[in-house]
Amino acid sequence: MSKIAVLLPRESMLEQARKVIREENMDISILKVIKTSDAVYEARNAVADGAGIIVARGVQASHIRDYTDIPVAEIESSAQELGLLIKKARQILKKEHPVIAVIGYRNTYSDMSYFDEIFNIRLKTYFFDEIGEAESAVNRAADDGAELVIGGDIVNELARQKGIPGLFLESTEDSIRNALKVAQRMSYTAEVERNHIAQFETLLDTSFNGIIKIDSSKRITIVNQPAEMILGDREESLTGKKLQDVIPQLSEPLIDSILNGARDMTSTTVYIGENPLMVTAGPIRAEDEITGAILSCSRLTGILRTDRDKSGAIYRKGYRARAHFSDSEMNSSEMRQCVDMGKIFALSSNPVLIYGGSGTGKEAFAECIHNNSAYKAGPFVNVNLGGMTEEMQMERLFGNPKADDETLKKGALSISDQGTLVISEAEGLSMPVQYRLYRALRHKTLIQNDLERSQILNNRIIVTASENLEDRVRDGEFREDLFYLLNSLVIRIPPLKDRKKDIEAIVIRAKKRFAEKYSRFLRFPEDAMEVLFQYDWPGNENQLEAFLERLFLTAPKKTVSSAYVRQLLEELYPRKIRRADGTQVVYRDPEAVRLTEVLKQCNGSRARAAKELGISTTTLWRRMKKYGVDTQGSQPGK
């Protein structure tokens, strides 16, 4: 344990300390009486002699703490000591209701709340944090009529100069014993901490994984050598930086969940340079407080080196994924959760099932998972078998040895070996194809016919679906065994209408892209954005992006009006209603039709149209904006 040095202002206090040390059988290496002016010098000498903890009091303790990095166990005067001094002060003053001042460092004194009543005195306290404030405190005490001062040497000398008697605050055995026990606990804690640091440093030096330690504010404090190699920078440069600045692909909410105690551990994947990494994070707990986190980073390996040439050749033929999670600028919490889950699922080689409506970007999301996994170096193959005959589905997935085309001869399962195969719209698979796929997934074996097992597979399957496969199982249209094999690593991408923040992100991205492409710079005021928020977007991201391109090409003004957005929506996606005979007609709001007719009759004059309709021009203008009718009486959708 750390050695303890006891530095005190008076010999009488040192004698009491010796007595306590003998009684408690304490191992104290240095005991010394020192002058306040020499406190820092003596403390540094004690450290040079091996001391790791200093026991001191008052001004001396404050000086040592302020001007060194040495831990200090401070002697605090007990209520009993103060009570004895108050009694002695009354004897000196010989007054019925004397005014007594207690002056000194706040942390030197215990609670004196009821001393006035107990001792029949007027007690005034003057606490300070800097020794330079002592003279001011004594002056205030004198102005307040203090008849006696209790404090340390400096306070007593200042009081004497004012003609005020003083009593030195003597520490008793109890307060010295308490301080020595605190010092022992500090020494033990420091020893435990040193052992922990030594063990942690050994772990850092011997670990093959990259280890990163962060504090509660997510700043890097320690990085080992493998982490330096992964991050491509030295520990000296990385220390003190925000984790998000060093690994921007790492989900900040995920790390927050570790630091706020919501998770005890989490694993995810990130991509740094050409390295797919698995990152496992766990909190550092000090008693009930989380003081930081440890992140362990390891490179994902899954493709055998002997197969790299083959998978690389296929990769170069165009079977590659281009989307990355870092490309996604979605702002909604729902999509952030999907991305976090996708990064976690990228760790696994088991099938992933992605649900989402048309246009939600399921296939792009599958590309992101592939690019965040150990399969990134292998091919990425995407097949959509919806609408195909059973024979065509079999051929596309499992191959046909008799086919002339090399792709059809091998089949998607074989081509995607050592990589990822995405089967889009899985609800369209025929039952025999579902059975053959189940066997391939279950046994990791490609079976091109019922008699021959031709290839052991090492790939990961991602399946996308627009409909709930469980409903199709219930209806007898999807195999139960295949469903349960797929229904484990499941991601559900919510429709765009439930993600308003993502609508805004897509608009911002489109403004930048189309500004570069068409040199058109448009502004979207809040009312125009609100129209986009209110629309359901059944085609999700695909529909919104296509709509925005049309809007950028045709908007008549630089500031896009809400009326024009409504007009274009009605024109491109008119609402339809079904008649009793089964025919469909385009629905147009009767009020919009009426506004259009009146404005045409009035040759676009809003004043005349308002008078004709019996409303104010302001009300007319609001209704025109609501229904996207212009002053010429152009009806939305015509």
334/285 same-domain check: no
293/326 same-domain check: no
Domain extent for 255: 207-299
Residue 632 is given by DSSP the state T
For tokens 């197969």, what's the residue?
307
> Percentage of residues in the chain with pLDDT exceeding 90?
25
79-93 and 173-206 helices, crossing angle to 10°: 150
Res 431 pLDDT > 80 = yes
pLDDT at 638: 40
Closest listed residue to residue 16, CA positions, set 179, 140, 214, 146: 179
The least confident of 53-67, 448-462, 557-571, 572-586 is 572-586
Strands 289-299 and 210-215: antiparallel
285 φ, ψ (degrees, to nearest 5): -110, 130
pLDDT at 454: 62
pLDDT at 141: 94
Residue type, 225: Q
pLDDT at 449: 59
The answer to whether the beta carbons of residues 343 and 251 sit under 8 Å apart is yes
Residue 635: burial class (beta carbons within 10 Å; 0-12, 13-18, 19+)? buried
DSSP reduced 3-state for 638: coil
Cross-strand partners of 465:
355
pLDDT at 304: 41
| Overall size of the chain counted in residues | 638
Number of domains in the chain: 5
Evaluate whether residue 367 is within a structural domain: yes
485/532 same-domain check: no
Evaluate whether residue 193 is within a structural domain: no
Return the higher-pLDDT residue of 519 and 164. Answer: 164
Res 308 pLDDT > 50 = no
Contacts of 460 (CB under 8 A, 6+ apart): 348, 349, 350, 351, 352, 370, 373, 375, 419, 420, 421
The least confident of 26-30, 362-366, 392-396 is 26-30
330/227 same-domain check: no
pLDDT at 576: 47
pLDDT at 380: 92
pLDDT at 74: 84
Strands 122-128 and 148-151: unpaired
Res 25 pLDDT > 90 = no
DSSP reduced 3-state for 389: coil
> Percentage of residues in the chain with pLDDT exceeding 70?
88
The answer to whether the beta carbons of residues 132 and 108 sit under 8 Å apart is no
Evaluate whether residue 196 is within a structural domain: no
Alpha helices per DSSP H over 324-430:
333-345, 362-371, 390-398, 406-410, 412-415
Q: How far is CA 607 from CA 211, 244, 285, 517, 616, in A?
A: 73, 58, 72, 41, 8
Query: What does the angle CA 455 – CA 459 – CA 464 come to, to the nearest 5 degrees?
Result: 120
For tokens 């640091």, what's the residue?
197
144/286 same-domain check: no
What pTM was estimated for this model as a whole? 0.58
Give 229's pLDDT tier (boundaries 50, 70, 90): confident
266/161 same-domain check: no
**Strand ranges in 433-566 using DSSP code E only, listed in sequence order:** 445-447, 453-456, 460-465, 489-492
29/132 same-domain check: no
pLDDT at 492: 94
Res 104 pLDDT > 70 = yes
Res 580 pLDDT > 70 = no
295/315 same-domain check: no
Calculate mean pLDDT across residues 158-176: 86
pLDDT at 80: 77
Res 414 pLDDT > 80 = yes
Q: What is the CATH number of the domain that holds 465?
A: 3.40.50.300
pLDDT at 200: 66
The 10 Å CB-count burial string (b at 16+, else e) for 27-57 is ebebbeebebeebbebbebbbeeebbbbbbb
Evaluate whether residue 87 is within a structural domain: no
Res 306 pLDDT > 70 = no
What kind and span of H or E run contains 277? strand 275-286
259/398 same-domain check: no
484/402 same-domain check: yes
Give 115's pLDDT tier (boundaries 50, 70, 90): confident
Return the higher-pLDDT residue of 47 and 636. Answer: 47
Residue 14 and residue 5: Cα distance in Å, rounded?
12
Q: Which long-range contacts (CB under 8 A, 24 or more apart) does 474-478 make?
A: 477/427, 477/431, 478/427, 478/429, 478/434
268 φ, ψ (degrees, to nearest 5): -155, 180
* Alpha carbon 365 to its chain's center: 21
Res 248 pLDDT > 80 = yes
Closest listed residue to residue 60, CA positions, set 129, 8, 117: 8
613/523 same-domain check: yes
Mean of the per-residue pLDDT values for the chain?
83
DSSP reduced 3-state for 504: helix
Evaluate whether residue 229 is within a structural domain: yes
Tens of pLDDT, residues 312-342: 444 445 577 888 887 766 788 889 889 989 9
